[in-house]
Amino acid sequence: MSAQSKTSMNGAAHSTAQIEVRNPVSRELIGSIAICSEDEVRGAVERARGAQPAWEARGAKERAYILRAFADLLWARRTDAMRLIRQETGKNDTGAFLEVYGIVTEAYWLYHHAPRLLRSQRRPALLPFIQYAKVHFKPHGVVGCITPWNYPLYNGFTDLIPALAAGNTVVMKPSELSPFTANYIVDLLYQAGVPEDALQIVTGDGSTGAVLIDYVDYVSFTGSTATGRKVAERASKRLIQYTLELGGKDPLLILEDANVELAAAGTIRSALENCGQACVSTERVYVTEPVYDQYLQRVQHYAQQLNVSVGDGFSVDVGSMTNERELKRTEAQVEDAVVKGAKLISGGKRRPDLGPLFFAPAVLTDVTHEMDVMREETFGPIVAIMKVKDTDEAVRLANDSEYGLSGAIFTRNLTRGEEIAKMLQSGDIGVNRTYAVPGSHALPWGGRKHSGIGRRGGPEGVMRYTQPQSVLVDTMIGSVPSLTLLDSLTMNTLLALRVLRRYLPFI
């Protein structure tokens, strides 16, 4: 099926306005997508709403089986999925593979854990001996998933599949830069058994995303902080719940006792993953004085070895950036830093010999918090390094940011690493490892401060898609008609319970 007809299949058939989607490396046209009209968005949500009760009624176990079948299918088709991801984003094979692997294993995690998490729970009632109570976890209804372009598979579907697991139906609005990966994956979900009305795509730009918020019952948004604010305002007007996964400015702290070799390689890997176009990439490196010189020498060593290439295979370290806007912002940050006194010790220039959006990773030293590169989100391949006196100063500077998404600490003292991690104002921290939290499906991750509201991943990432409903049943044993809440039986029982409740936790 051609890219165009696939898009049409998902609800955009009658729209006339189109957006061209181009390969960022070759500039070839991949296809065009329709900008769905408000009527089309409303229609998609109505169909999803109609399909929701039947999807919910299939039960958590059956939905979990469908997600496992989807994961098996995606794994079998990983080469096609990776090709599409690379076509739309220009990223290297490593990045595309990790997207596939991340979603496959997340679906397996949901298969194993979602049914148990969603099971109704028995809880103590007001009058335990004559009443009993249960909490049921009901889906919101129709979830709107609005997603970005940097990880068209992982960031799109890491929010979407738990919503389905919890019994919601979903209308997705993928980024206008990477809609075809989303179409492909949605097709696989259909093949695995998700009914077509239960999961639909509406294509378009920001205006389509905005309209979607006006009709759905819950919004799961991943994107920039600026857009997240607009999403929150619009959702709040309707009093619907939302989660926001937004931008980051993640710090990496290299303590006095760090394994410098691992820290240097880890810095490069984590600052340059997906060409730096990652919300959880390392953007600020604070290196304590005693290890600074040795660290810098090793970073330079690794930076020189980087394989920046248009080619295939896992030996390519850095691929193309995805859009000109981010490339220009990256160049501007490097320029601003250099003008304000930073040293550019490696890269920092475009590589037109490789493609229009290739950029040789910039390594900047002597950066300060007066520079844009240390304050604004970086969405490109920059390693920005600052020397600090000691760990205290590193912690203070790490927290001196409006963002609070992720972060990392390198130290040989694992206990101290854990203690320092708790001092950082971030949603997740890796000690001696970057990027491991988003791949650990049992762990919640997401932002503090301007990096977001709510968490994805782990039990928290499933339960956000539910509303607890408490049901209390009175057996009527000993009940007498009464016009007061405090008839004598109730009063005596409550007084006895007060004493018991002072000592017993479960009553």
Q: Which residues bind ligand NAD (CB under 6 A)?
A: 146-150, 155, 173, 175-176, 205-206, 209-210, 222-224, 227, 230-231, 245-248, 279, 377, 379, 405, 447, 452
DSSP helix/strand/coil, 452: strand
245 is catalytic: yes
User: Residue 475 — φ and ψ, nearest 5°?
Assistant: -75, -10
Residue 167 or 319: the one with the smaller Cβ distance to ligand NAD is 319
Q: Active-site residue among 88, 245, 283, 377?
A: 245
Residue 204 or 355: the one with the smaller Cβ distance to ligand NAD is 204
Q: How far apart are CA 476 and CA 492, in angstroms?
A: 16
Do 214 and 234 meet the contact criterion of CB atoms below 8 Å apart? yes
Do 357 and 90 meet the contact criterion of CB atoms below 8 Å apart? yes
145 is catalytic: no
Do 321 and 24 meet the contact criterion of CB atoms below 8 Å apart? yes
Q: How far apart are CA 295 and CA 272, in angstroms?
A: 17
Question: Which pair of structure tokens corresponds to residue 42?
Answer: 């409303």
Question: Which residues, at least 6 apart from 449, have a Cβ–Cβ distance to it below 8 Å?
Answer: 401, 402, 403, 404, 425
Residue 150 or 391: the one with the smaller Cβ distance to ligand NAD is 150
Q: How far apart are CA 275 and CA 384, in angstroms?
A: 14
Sign of torsion over alpha carbons 335, 86, 158, 228: positive
Question: Which pair of structure tokens corresponds to residue 241?
Answer: 């719940």
Shortest distance (Å) from residue 470 CB to ligand NAD: 32
Q: What is the DSSP string of 425-449?
A: -SS--EES-SSHHHH-TTS-B--EE
DSSP helix/strand/coil, 361: coil
As a residue count, the chain comes to 507
Shortest distance (Å) from residue 377 CB to ligand NAD: 6
Strand 466-474 and strand 452-453: the pairing is unpaired
Shortest distance (Å) from residue 221 CB to ligand NAD: 7
Shortest distance (Å) from residue 199 CB to ligand NAD: 17
Shortest distance (Å) from residue 178 CB to ligand NAD: 9
- What Cα–Cα distance (Å) separates residue 239 from each residue in 109, 232, 287, 372? 31, 10, 45, 36
Shortest distance (Å) from residue 369 CB to ligand NAD: 20
Residue 246 or 382: the one with the smaller Cβ distance to ligand NAD is 246
Q: Active-site residue among 275, 279, 326, 377?
A: 279
Do 273 and 95 meet the contact criterion of CB atoms below 8 Å apart? yes
Question: Which residues, at least 6 apart from 24, have a Cβ–Cβ distance to it below 8 Å?
Answer: 88, 89, 90, 320, 321, 322, 323, 355, 356, 357
Residue 119 or 229: the one with the smaller Cβ distance to ligand NAD is 229
Residue 167 or 427: the one with the smaller Cβ distance to ligand NAD is 427
Shortest distance (Å) from residue 150 CB to ligand NAD: 5
In angstroms, how far is CA 210 from the centroid of its own chain? Answer: 19
Strand order in the sheet with 121-123: 121-123, 131-139, 466-474
Residue 203 or 490: the one with the smaller Cβ distance to ligand NAD is 203
Exposed e or buried b per residue across 390-410, where buried means at least 16 C-beta atoms within 10 angstroms of its C-beta: ebebbbebbeebebbbbbbbb
Question: Which pair of structure tokens corresponds to residue 505?
Answer: 């936790």
Shortest distance (Å) from residue 427 CB to ligand NAD: 8
Q: How far apart are CA 469 and CA 134, in angstroms?
A: 8
Residue 71 or 146: the one with the smaller Cβ distance to ligand NAD is 146
Residue positions annotated with a catalytic role: 245, 279
